[in-house]
A and B are shown apart, each in its own frame.
Chain A
Amino acid sequence: MTTLLEIEDVSLLYGRIKALHGISLTVNEGEIVALIGANGAGKSTTMRAISGIRPVASGRIHFAGEDITKLRADLRVRRGLCQAPEGRGIFPGMSVLENLDMGAYTRRDRAEVSKDLAKVLELFPRLAERRKQVGGTLSGGEQQMLAVGRALMSRPKLLLLDEPSMGLAPMLIQQIFSIITEINEQGTTILLVEQNAQQALARAHRAYVLETGRIVKEGTGSELLHDPAVKEAYLGVA
Chain B
Amino acid sequence: MTSVRDWIDSGRHAVAERWHNAPRWMRWAVIAAVVVFFYALPNREFYQWLGPIPTTGSNFGQVLFTISIYVLLAVGLNIVVGFAGLLDLGYFGFFAVGAYTVAVLTSPSSDLKTLWPWLLALPVALVLTMISGVMLGTPTLRLRGDYLAIVTLGFAEMIRVAATSSEFLKGQRGFNQIPHPPGTHSDGSPVFGVLDPRPYYWLVLTLIILVVLGVRNLNRSRVGRAWISIREDEDAAQLMGVPTFKFKLWAFASGAFIGGLAGALFAGKQNFVSSQNLELLNSIIILAAVILGGSGNIVGAIVGGGLVAYMIERFRGIEVFGIELYEYRFMFFGLVLVIMMIFRPQGLIPNRRRAAEFKDRRKEVIVGG
Residues of A within 8 A of B (CB): 51-53, 72-75, 77-78, 82-83, 85, 89-94, 98, 101-103, 105-106, 134, 136-137, 150-151, 154
The residue that B241 contacts in the complex, of A53, A77, A85, A92, with Cβ under 8 A, is A77
Set B236, B244, B353: member contacting A89, Cβ < 8 A: B236
With A134-B356, A136-B356 as given contacts, are A78 and B239 in contact (CB-CB < 8 Å)? no
Contact A106 B233 (CB under 8 A): no
Q: Would you call B233 and A91 a contact (CB within 8 A)?
A: yes
Extra 8 A-B pairs, beta carbons < 8 Å, given A89-B235, A90-B236, A93-B356: A73-B239, A75-B241, A83-B239, A92-B357, A93-B232, A98-B225, A105-B242, A106-B241
Q: Which of A77, A93, A94, A98 contacts B239 (CB 8 A)?
A: A77
- For residue B147, give the distance in angstroms from its CB to the closest CB of chain A: 16
Is B125 interfacial (CB-CB < 8 Å)? no
Q: Which residues of the other chain, B, contact A53 by a CB distance below 8 angstroms?
A: 235, 238-239
Find residues 198-250 in chain B having any chain A CB closer than 8 Å to their own CB. 222, 225-226, 228-229, 232-233, 235-244
Q: Size band of the B side of the interface?
A: 20 to 34
Asked if A105 and B225 sit within 8 Å, CB to CB, the answer is yes
Q: Which of B241, B353, B356, B360 contacts A154 (CB 8 A)?
A: B241
Cα-based distance from A90 to B222 in the complex (angstroms): 18
Q: Is the CB of B356 within 8 A of A51?
A: no
Q: Determine the distance from Cα of A35 to Cα of B83 in the docked complex, in whole angstroms.
A: 37
Tell me if B344 counts as interface (CB < 8 A to partner A): no
Tell whether B354 is near chain A: CB-to-CB under 8 Å. yes
Q: Which residues of A contact B240 (CB under 8 A)?
A: 77, 82, 102-103, 105-106, 150, 154
What are 11 of the A-B contact pairs (CB < 8 Å)?
A: A53-B235, A82-B241, A89-B233, A90-B236, A91-B236, A93-B354, A98-B225, A105-B222, A105-B225, A105-B242, A134-B356
B contact residues around A72 at 8 Å (CB): 243
Contacts of B360 in A (CB 8 A): 92, 134, 136-137
